[in-house]
A and B are shown apart, each in its own frame.
Chain A
């Protein structure tokens, strides 16, 4: 990163030119949902599910979390968000050519057994009971090929979108790609990670070439395996967040061929609100353009940005031509940014 001069990056300009063919692709349908059950800070503290003091989390802007229950589990989140995205985009099951499942937690990739395995081999086979395949069957996505994205933490859905976008650009025969991102913490797991309160949630996006709500402008991802050991590098991860985020956003804007001032809406994650004000400041973005859904849901692993994007689109505040910036960080570590343009 160079502080002493504004970047005029010729490599980046070249990237803009070569990436322009991908601008015909975009988001056709968007859905993000939270499970209905909520728990407030007092409740979480009583349950021993917080690491920090209740007052500290209050000061950081957290109030409640949404958590799965037996009737609203990972499968429910996936099905509901996928169905909603399909209905909103008027895409039929048979028109989905690719299904990409994204989860941060390995157990979320696997369908829980309905009955307890009795033999070791049954237990072993159960580990191959993939959610993506289950979802394909549930939705009758008979023309879809299935794949998954993992090991990206909270950036998993961004990676799924990036892979889907790349497939549409590289394979003209593909029509619609359904990306589904779901994560739910195990029952009884701590609900606080690095000073952020975590909700369960699901989201789905249909990427397409037609009937777009938002056109794809640019994507940028930086991964730093140096930070793979979260327990050991926790402090370094926190400290690296801002400088690397700033660098990623600069490159993202450069790839899109726009300046920070051209960003009309910033769709944040649900990590502490103050961190977004800081990030906006250091990236020369206008913090007044941060859009949050009215409901305070804390931080979901996969769906924050899409919950906010969904709310923005429903509010009709976004106008055609508006540039939207979505950004997230995921354990691993991965920083991802996405620029969309409202159609």
Chain B
């Protein structure tokens, strides 16, 4: 059966490599992606080809729209050939929201996409990309199942993604909800088209401007390679979906990365790159308890120092989650991948991520 996949969020950090991967599927007849700007539409084929030369961009159709609008702002019909799968990956992923984009994009946007699907392709399977952060400040074991509403969230992004999951679960038709760990680079070469919080934090560390990281020797971080997601979605498109919503944790499960070891690895790599690191003039940030880190935050706020306010914003978008340790069940995910999680040796992979980061000025010039 030929496929027509409709993808939102194709210009994002995960959407780009995912679109490139989908364009390699033999059964694919059409990949329709929605973009808000004509400029994105014009440049997308080139970017996707750069990500994966095997991408068949003749199957790509870029339509201008906006998921925050009713009917997702499409000016044209896109349901021919019949859409077989909708992958909803669009999200406002920044952890600080001076406006109301969490609500507009993540909650209203999800509602609009699902309504559009119900109208145009109610039988198409829906793959909703969520985040491990949707579990909020819950601590402990998280099953691959609907989430109880956490008592609180680290930030509004987490809350909006939890709400989006609730909306997705209320829709009809075959549904898979994927909760993703932080994607920080390809397994093959460590590259990432659109860098986010992780690379921003790395950049501050490298410049010697991040003095503290919240966490302790038990703190673990959930970082995964891009291929984990692209291959997982690829497999999910071929897998039978049950009538009830299926949940997957694209997580490291029991092998999350020890924060201390990660910092040591970064420091060792930076020392090979930079003379001031090698000579010990710049040191890796110190691990601080949540209370000490909050004290540091109060000092920065009190001082109104602009640079350290920026540093804190980067850290806030990535690190406070570390204080709410969770063990994500990965049974269904492992089954999807044939019995094991597709995790490379994290140190070898992270070396490649750091190589890319240094080469590209932490993603500014990928």
Contact = CB atoms under 8 A, between A and B. Distances in A.
Interface of A: 1-4, 52-53, 56, 59-60, 195, 224, 226-227, 235-236, 238-244, 246-247, 272, 274-275, 277-278, 281-282
* Chain B interface size, under 10 / 10 to 19 / 20 to 34 / 35 or more: 35 or more
Interface in B229-269: 258-261, 263-264, 267
Interface in B255-314: 258-261, 263-264, 267, 276, 279-289, 291-292, 295-296, 298-299, 302-305, 307-308, 311
Nearest to B215: A3
B211 interface: yes
B14 interface: no
A275 B293 CA distance: 10
Given A3-B284, A282-B288, A239 B208 contact: yes
A231 B276 CA distance: 18
B264 A282 contact: no
A277 B297 CA distance: 13
Contact of A282 (B209, B212, B217): B212
Contact of A240 (B208, B258, B307): B208
B260 A278 contact: no
Nearest to B307: A235
A235 B209 contact: yes
B258 A235 contact: no
Given A1-B284, A246-B286, A282-B286, A239 B209 contact: yes
Contacts of A244: 283
A240 B208 CA distance: 7
14 contacts: A3-B284, A3-B287, A60-B299, A60-B303, A226-B281, A235-B308, A239-B311, A242-B211, A243-B283, A243-B285, A272-B299, A274-B298, A277-B292, A277-B295
Contacts of A236: 207-209, 282
A236 B207 CA distance: 8
A274 B295 CA distance: 6
A226 B287 contact: no
Contacts of B308: 235, 238-239
B282 to A, nearest CB: 7
A240 B282 contact: yes
- Grouping DSSP codes into helix (H, G, I), strand (E, B) and loop, the A interface class, with mixed when no group exceeds half, is helix
A2 B262 CA distance: 11
Contacts of B197: none
Contacts of A239: 208-211, 308, 311
Contacts of B259: 3
Nearest to B289: A281
A277 B259 CA distance: 22
A3 B283 contact: no
A4 B210 contact: no
B299 A3 contact: no
Q: Which of B260, B288, B302 has the most CB of A within 10 A?
A: B302
Contacts of B287: 3, 282
B134 to A, nearest CB: 29
B304 A53 contact: yes
A59 B302 contact: yes
Given A236-B209, A240-B208, A243-B211, A1 B267 contact: yes
Contacts of A52: 303-304
Would you list the 4 A-B pairs with minimal beta carbon distance, nearest first?
A3-B260, A281-B292, A226-B281, A243-B283
A278 B283 contact: no
Contacts of B303: 52, 56, 60, 195
Contacts of B302: 56, 59-60
Contacts of A243: 211, 283-286
B319 to A, nearest CB: 15
A248 B323 CA distance: 27
B207 to A, nearest CB: 8
A247 B296 contact: no
A275 B288 CA distance: 12
A226 B296 CA distance: 24
B109 to A, nearest CB: 38
Contacts of B210: 239
Contact of B296 (A3, A59, A278): A278
B264 A2 contact: yes
A316 to B, nearest CB: 31
A253 B261 CA distance: 23
Among B276, B303, B307, the one with the most A-chain Cβ atoms within 10 Å of its Cβ is B303
A22 to B, nearest CB: 26
A92 to B, nearest CB: 45
Most interface-central of A56, A236, A242 (chain B CB within 10 A): A242
Contacts of B267: 1
A164 B89 CA distance: 67
Max chain B C-beta neighbours (<10 A), residue from A235, A238, A244, A281: A281
Given A52-B304, A239-B210, A3 B292 contact: no
Given A277-B292, A278-B288, A282-B288, A56 B283 contact: no
A109 B264 CA distance: 43
Contacts of B207: 236
Nearest to A244: B283
Nearest to A282: B286
A299 to B, nearest CB: 14
A242 B286 contact: yes
A177 B264 CA distance: 43
B292 A282 contact: yes
Contacts of A275: 299
A11 B328 CA distance: 42
A224 B260 contact: no
B279 to A, nearest CB: 8
